[in-house]
Amino acid sequence: MEKNKKRITEALLLLLCVYGLWAAACRGQIHETPQAQKEDLSAYVGLQTADGLTENDYQTIFAQTGLTPLGMQTLIRQHRTGLLCEIQARFFEQPKLQVNRANIFCHQEWLAEPTAAEAEFVAEDGDIIITLASYLGGWRYGHCGLILDAQSGTVLEAVTYGQPSGKMRLSHWSEYPAFVILRPRGADEGTKREVIAYAERYLQDIPYDLFAFKYRTSYGPVKTTHCSHLVWYAYHSEGYDLDCDGTPVVTPYDLIHDDDLLLVQVYGMCLEGK
């Protein structure tokens, strides 16, 4: 009996050590500063059309701001290229990070001094915003939201236990040390309006449950949800399956790596091949 107790104790201690190493390996590593040298972007400020922009131009803009060609074209359509220098300045910042314990197991990374303005998020209605700044040990489970109204800065999110899903301000995303904005491939304005209408009707005020599963035959209200489950269901209503691995549980990581989501803007993260 004593030998068994000793073995169990040793096994538990070993598991705790492994967990500690796993957790330590993840801590404070989400934000990545760009490797490029800062360049003058004044030639792109004030552009009214994307005509004439070359592949080299787009590569420069991405390396300097985190805006993909899709993101730059969005900025031009919105007549907001005057923000390029502000976006670039934030992109090249070396921010001070802080880590808070969200609960006994989970941690959350924040910017100690958020400086981003809400206007510096380059998005359209129906886009998806994601961060991987939340983690459990070495697993970055992250958080995401569905942008309902980019102009007013309204995002639908399911945040945590005890807080039903609801509308939040896009501005609070400026507190995260890294984020990406993604746009579903081939989703026209009509499709995105339908997705937003579905989300506002069926996916608000839903209790949070980290273990909410996808049910592909359901197009109405759901009983529980979590952040990526909410986003998946909104686009599922229009026939999309935004989940790179197709398992019953969808995560922010699954959304980021799904081929049907196109990168618009990235800040503080390296997304090779996206």
Q: Say if residue 130 is in the same domain as residue 246.
A: yes
Predicted local distance difference test score (pLDDT) of residue 190: 97
- State pLDDT tens for residues 132-172: 988 877 778 899 999 999 999 999 999 988 999 999 999 99
Whether residues 55 and 164 fall in one domain: no
Q: Are residues 71 and 202 in the same domain?
A: no
pLDDT in tens, 60-70: 999 999 999 99
Same domain, 10 and 85: no
Whether 151 and 243 share a structural domain: yes
Note whether residue 183 is domain-resident.
Answer: yes
Higher-confidence residue: 17 or 247? 247
Distance CA 59, CA 51 (A): 15
Range of the domain at 242: 2-30+108-267
Within-domain flag for 79: yes
Where would I find the H helices in 93-209?
189-202
H or E element: which one contains 110?
strand 106-111
Angle formed at CA 41 by CA 152 and CA 91, multiple of 5 degrees: 55
**For residue 142, what are its two tokens?**
């992250």
Read off the pLDDT band of 131 (50, 70, 90).
very high
Range scoring the smallest mean pLDDT among 17-31, 124-138, 212-226, 229-243: 17-31
Comparison of pLDDT for 245 and 30, the residue scoring more: 245
Number of folded domains that form the chain: 2
Write out pLDDT tens, residues 81-115: 999 999 999 999 988 888 887 767 788 899 988 76
Res 230: pLDDT: 97
CA distance 93 to 89: 6
Tens digits of per-residue pLDDT, 192-208? 999 999 999 999 999 99
pLDDT of 274 reads 61
Residue 102 is assigned to a structural domain of this protein: no
Q: Are residue 177 and residue 44 in the same domain, yes or no? A: no
